Structure 1
Amino acid sequence: MNFSIQPFLENEKYQLIPLQQGDFELLYHLASNPKVWEQHPNKDRYKREVFENFFKGAMESKGAFKIVEKSSGDVLGSTRFYDFDESRNSIFIGYTFYGTNSWGKGINPQIKKLMMDYIFEFVDTVYFHIGKENFRSQIALERLGGQKIAEEEIAYFGEPTITNFMYEIKKENHFNVN
């Protein structure tokens, strides 16, 4: 791998800043609302001890970011690159969450576009695991041009196995979100 899966990325409105240990409390403040996790595979991530495991996985991935709004400096959520596969020339984007104040504002498509614009310089395919019951994320990804290609049993970092849909976006089909 001759590229970073944890670069500093930004557009006009947002920054993706590599996650650091000191970011835990800021992210937990957002994550402690049970509503954030209603449709996610592990609905208990609002509990401190469960979120600590989630955050540990983020740190160990060495591909995680905090999402920051440039105008206010507010941390809005987190996302990451993970599971780079050199032989398939692919990577995953996921583990994304936002505080409820960021919902419905068109932030996620801009963040995903920022990530894909960068990573498609290095890979041909981006995959996403989305929980079978996470309808909000399924719709959002389909709007970005994601195609559902499989159903898999996935165990997130230190969490129980759960059914996920696997989506893909190929470099040649990368949808431009304005």
Structure 2
Amino acid sequence: MHTTLQGQRIVLRPLQYSDADALVRASADGELWDLTVTVVPSASTVDSYLKKALDGRDAGTVLPFAITLKDNGEVIGSTRFWKIDPLNRKLEIGSSWISASWQKSFVNTEAKYLLLRHAFEELECVRVQFTTDENNQKSRQAILRLGAQQEGIVRHERIMPDGRKRNSVRFSIIDDEWPQVRLHLEQKLAGYA
């Protein structure tokens, strides 16, 4: 499971241990490790962050990517497929973060487009879900802008590194919705040209 997804301006390539320094540089742009609504690697946590992602890849339940700029290969974030369930043809897109200077640009839309296209058209998923912190309004709005449907709130869904019991909001896109979502995302990406 070492898939590379090529876009117009970004490439999602397999995450590797050698990405540690590049991930820390990317997360330093905005000091994203200070966010309390998601987990972003810092210099002190990047090794455990990578180990968890790559152990999941080895187990077949996670497919982690580095988000890179196509023109120079610079790492500007990370994302992954996880909760991969081939039997039920579903997975979750998550653990996504992007350097502060690339937020509110084409990057998130193109990354999600590449992931969703791969999930629905190559992996033949019937369901792709997203989960975010109930307190993360920016992420909730971004997921809705993709065309996902909010399904509900999962109470105390996980315990965050600071010990807080997190309520999570669950969203999904199903296979019947993908053609319309795809068209919507392609139109959004054309608007960034």
Query: Shared topology, TM-score over 0.5?
Result: yes
Q: Distance in 2 between matches of 1:56 and 1:159?
A: 20
Gaps of 5+ in 2: 58-62, 187-193
User: CA distance change for structure 1 residues 159 and 56 in 2, over 3 Å: closer, same or farther?
Assistant: farther
- Could you tell me which amino acid in structure 2 is paired with residue 132 of structure 1? E
Give 1:169 deviation, angstroms: 0.7
Q: Hey, which bits of structure 1, 4+ residues long, moved more than 6 A?
A: 156-159
Cα shift readout 1:41-69 (whole Å, capped 9, x = no counterpart): 246x4543334333322222211010111
Work out whether 1:138 is the aligned partner of 2:134: no
From 150, 165, 172, give the equivalent of 2:169. Answer: 165
- Could you tell me which amino acid in structure 2 is paired with residue 126 of structure 1? V
Q: Is the partner of 2:44 in helix, strand or coil?
A: helix
Work out whether 1:18 is the aligned partner of 2:20: no
Q: Distance in 1 between matches of 2:91 and 2:82?
A: 6
- Could you tell me which amino acid in structure 2 is paired with residue 168 of structure 1? S
Give 1:148 deviation, angstroms: 1.3
Question: 1:1-12 residue pairs with structure 2 within 5 A?
Answer: 4=1, 6-12=2-8
The residue aligned with 1:111 is 111
Q: Distance in 1 between matches of 2:3 and 2:172?
A: 22
TM-score (norm 1): 0.85
TM-score (norm 2): 0.79
Cα shift readout 1:27-85 (whole Å, capped 9, x = no counterpart): 01122356425655246x45433343333222222110101111132111000001112
- Could you tell me which amino acid in structure 2 is paired with residue 148 of structure 1? Q
Give 1:11 deviation, angstroms: 1.5
- Could you tell me which amino acid in structure 2 is paired with residue 77 of structure 1? G
User: CA distance change for structure 1 residues 163 and 101 in 2, over 3 Å: closer, same or farther?
Assistant: same
Q: Is contact 2:20-2:46 (8 Å) kept?
A: no
The residue aligned with 2:43 is 48
Higher helix proportion (structure 1 or 2): 2
The residue aligned with 1:70 is 70
What is the identity percentage for the equivalent residue pairs of Structure 1 and Structure 2?
Answer: 22
Give 1:124 deviation, angstroms: 0.6
- Could you tell me which amino acid in structure 2 is paired with residue 85 of structure 1? D
Please provide the CA RMSD for this pair. 2.4
Q: Is the partner of 1:172 in helix, strand or coil?
A: coil
Q: Is contact 2:80-2:96 (8 Å) kept?
A: yes
Gaps of 5+ in 1: none
Give 1:24 deviation, angstroms: 0.9
Q: Is contact 1:33-1:46 (8 Å) kept?
A: no
